[in-house]
Chain A
């Protein structure tokens, strides 16, 4: 039975189309700029279609070995940090999902963990710590401090809570220990949630830029987003005014709209590639981890 199309339907479609467009337009605009010429872009004449189409910006990227180095650095960091995140989430959530009748100290642990999520020493003490641990200029500085992703832990914990007690009890009867139960029973069941937190972890590490700014000393080791940010950052105009003309000239050369746009597009590529595949999984995963019956 085909339902009649009502005014309501039309309104819904229009609004949704609007939402979709707002998500697409910035992307198209940036792509267009990256394929345009420098002057038109600076004059703000590029909208959704390139003006004076050329691939100079992309060719310039090829001439910048640091871009690829940073790209590779980020891949390393994502793998390191991502797996650490997954590991800790999956393992730590297990005991936390038990009630205090089974695990006495459970609530204490939970409050400590939540506490760390809220309170932080701040930039300077963190910096002092990393320095005194000798971790400056290493990827450990970028992955260890965030190794325990509290939000993901809570998500997995909620999921574990939903797994029927009966499964666990049956395993106990068979003489299994908690490790066995975790790895052989819980984790296989939790795959959708794990896919979700994996996505969070990978994307989170890929997009992070601030840590690289603070803790990495050697330009060659800088992660991709930090690298891009250093190229696109705008200089404080009052500082600019106090510089010599030569220095001002140098600053201007650093920041070319079309190059920046190209870099941005290229750095999005990994996400665009992985995203369609994982979309299926993370929808289920979020549901399972967040929605309570």
Chain B
């Protein structure tokens, strides 16, 4: 009797439990108007919808963003303009800080419930994207893209020659609109001019010259507490856009670590195990031993610590991208007259400069299969950039005038419903750099510029010009980034493309350990704990611990 009673209760529990756990409807999208996708009149870049289309989305947010009055991620000037022009509204289902975005998305995916649209990183999140595709959760955007992509989007994508969208095609179906990653973000060599003058040397262009400058700085203790050259603690040899790494030195020796490359027979190999890398390590190890590299570099893991070294005058030569001066605000404050020099250095034995190029895609916008109006997302992108780049001058003015005193952040990626998805010409950096140069040389902002230049670009170039003319001291950052940095980065050089920027199946499991092995070994070699010849043994270890497996997988993916 008692057993039966217990059994009955248990059964009841089971049924109730199953019902509760299993049932979870997809939120899907609510389209009160039920906008029909088949309506041909709407499949063009600009026409608004007769009835309001509501699209659900999820966003990663920046906790530090200072919103203006009555502005928020859900509701800001830009979303209002989009509503006005397209009659499309975005409903944000959830927001989380960017480091957790993928995790939260994954949880919702497990519940089978993804928003209508969201933006992920095309390369970092590629495996996640694949999971979405394999589960059939994404909408095919090929038709929407063909018919609704605006002129600007088409133009921008042309500059990438289709490389940005290629990885997202399955046959004829397109499952993500991926923005291209514009180049020129490689590390340049920056040096403090005042220190160069102090030691009486020219701007170094080769490895030997860099060494000479370093030695002079350190020996003469320029700056009072000269630490030499600072390397990144976690990853001293670097990747495409990492500052403070030794990667440029490797490039001058024709070594390209942390990249997949093809050899002359067309076989793919991982750049880090190439024999030339050993030469680079030898140089770095020697520099460290001779005190030309900051003895404590491997401990500087605090955020902003290496930049602080520059601000406090403890180092005067470093590698960084063209936009590096933006993180140098403190340096400028302490020494407003400071002059910096940037060059593409070091050159190789033949006097050439080679550098890396980023992965073809950056942010990718995907749309859920359940969304009734996927083309609305593409149209939204059209409107967003139409306004932001100033083609829609009237609305751009409204945005510019909103915050004349610069009290609030106007980060576009917080205002845009599509988040960080950015449309940018492949050659944006050189073209703005050229614009700034033209203005400075002409002494006026009235120069024709490049057809791609927008008002936004002109504003920045003008700011650089005004700094050069001495009338706008605050334009320091614009001057050094847009004029100095950009133009140096745009100078010609040999581009080394990454043969395979994505992930393979085993990469998620094997690569972190291989990277760790690499970083630890190289760190030890540089600081002298291991001899440079250990490199050969490292290569064997790398291959055995999964490197060969990955190489085979990448080869297979490329041959597909």
Contact = CB atoms under 8 A, between A and B. Distances in A.
A230 B101 CA distance: 11
A23 interface: no
A245 B20 CA distance: 46
Interface string A211-255: 001100111000000010011011111110111111111101111
A241 B305 contact: no
A42 B327 contact: no
Interface stretch (B81-89, B233-241, B445-453): B233-241
A164 interface: no
B46 interface: no
Given A39-B311, A137-B94, A235 B113 contact: no
A129 interface: yes
A230 B311 CA distance: 27
B312 interface: yes
B123 A43 contact: no
B21 A233 contact: no
A257 B308 CA distance: 12
A237 B309 CA distance: 20
Interface string B184-219: 010000000000000000000000000000000000
A129 B64 contact: no
B302 interface: yes
A128 B21 contact: yes
Nearest to A246: B323
Interface residues of B, number: 55
Per DSSP, chain A at the interface is helix
B63 A257 contact: no
Nearest to A137: B94
B12 interface: no
Nearest to B66: A63
Contact of A238 (B62, B308, B312, B512): B512
A44 interface: yes
A66 B72 CA distance: 12
Contacts of B93: 217
B169 interface: no
A272 interface: no
B95 A218 contact: yes
B548 interface: no
Interface in B15-66: 20-24, 61-64, 66
A256 B303 contact: yes
Contacts of A217: 93-96
Nearest to A121: B21
Interface residues of A, number: 49
B292 interface: no
A252 B93 CA distance: 27
A38 interface: yes
A252 B97 contact: no
A250 B427 CA distance: 22
A177 interface: no
B540 interface: no
A58 interface: no
B66 A132 contact: no
Nearest to B184: A245
A102 interface: no
Contacts of B96: 213, 217, 230
Contacts of B20: 129, 132-133
B229 interface: no
A245 B321 contact: yes
B556 interface: no
A257 to B, nearest CB: 7
A237 B234 contact: yes
Given A237-B234, A254-B62, A257-B302, A129 B94 contact: no
Interface in A130-186: 131-133, 137
Nearest to B59: A219
A252 B95 contact: no
A132 B24 contact: yes
A227 B61 CA distance: 12
B143 to A, nearest CB: 30
Interface in B67-126: 93-97, 99-100, 104, 107, 110-111, 113, 121, 123-124
Interface of B: 20-24, 61-64, 66, 93-97, 99-100, 104, 107, 110-111, 113, 121, 123-124, 181, 185, 234-235, 239, 241-243, 258, 302-305, 307-309, 311-312, 321, 323-324, 326-327, 330, 358-359, 362, 420, 512, 515
User: Which 7 residue pairs are nearest across A and B when measured between Cβ atoms?
Assistant: A217-B94, A230-B97, A42-B308, A132-B24, A245-B321, A42-B304, A255-B303
Given A137-B94, A245-B324, 8 more contacts: A39-B311, A44-B302, A218-B95, A231-B63, A242-B239, A249-B323, A249-B326, A252-B303
